[in-house]
Amino acid sequence: MIIQFCFVTVNLQTLYILSPGIALIMLKITDKDYFLPIIEALYGIKSYDTGTTQPMQIAGVCTKTGVKDTYVVKYLNSPRMSIKASTSELVAAFIARQLDLHVVEPAIINVSELFVDTLRGKDGFKFASNSIGLNYGCKYVPGYFEFVRNQELNDAQFAAAEHIFAFDVFISNPDRGPQGKQNMLTNGKKILIFDHELAFSFLYDIFVKNPTPWLIGENDRAVIQKHFFYHTLKEKDHKFDEFVERLTIIDETFWERVTSLIPPEWQSDQINEIKTNLASLIEHRSIFLQELYKVLS
């Protein structure tokens, strides 16, 4: 028997339709049935040479469910990747998922020597061979394309763009710019976001740390003005209130779950630094809300 999969959206939650009358909700990480898939890499499909981190599309099998599917892996020792970057990817995806944003489904990809042997003589072999063990990855989603330059947004895309813009300011993500680094795709209705290895830029010495993250300073404004959606959203009417209030779901229960999901070998003070920064912003969210409106006025 062949079972076909499709996607539908209901009340901002994605449902995976397995067969008539049976549906599985895309769970938040705080839902009791959520688990972070651990994927055993089987063989490579193709490399994405245009990406800075040079990710690879692979076939893999979930060690919990035994289901084989297609994933994208960002090798731990490829350009711009590291344990720190991989952890940022995971945490950003968890937050986006918690806030009902349409984000790629994160996964941990186990790269074995057996898998690496399948890549000998092919693109990606070097990075794979230097990244034996656990790597960040995500489930591959077909049917999405990059935005074309100066593309007009329909109503659904505009609402999503507002949330993505606010989300990127919230997590201090400088890496969704207009010059070849969109790090998102669209199917004409929804906008799928990914690539958050530079999120939480306050962790890095190359960025000026803002001691009051709920306030948008001049350095922050310079980065924000390079956001892909900045000029699209500027001087328009916006509705950030509900989204900003939703940030309160990033609470202690959420962070306890994050800590339990991060691989033990990736654990560091990084999680607490992110938690402390975002918690202070959420505490001052009424001011942050006004700052969002101000930066686009």
DSSP category for residue 197: T
pLDDT for residue 15: 32
Two structure tokens written together for 57? 């599309």
Two structure tokens written together for 121? 């003589």
pLDDT for residue 189: 92
- Can you give the residue ranges of every domain in the chain? 36-139, 155-295
- CA-based torsion, 224, 228, 231, 233: positive or negative: negative
Mean pLDDT by 10 residues, the chain (297 residues): 31 31 65 97 91 91 98 96 97 98 98 97 94 98 91 94 98 87 94 97 82 94 94 94 98 98 97 98 98 97
Taking CA atoms, 183 is separated from 48, 174, 217, in Å, by 13, 11, 25
pLDDT for residue 25: 57
Name the CA dihedral angle for 43, 48, 53, 57, rounded to a multiple of 10 degrees.
-30
CA–CA gap between residue 281 and residue 44 (Å, rounded): 41
Two structure tokens written together for 64? 């919990």
Nearest to 78 by CA among 121, 118, 108, 48: 48
pLDDT for residue 16: 32
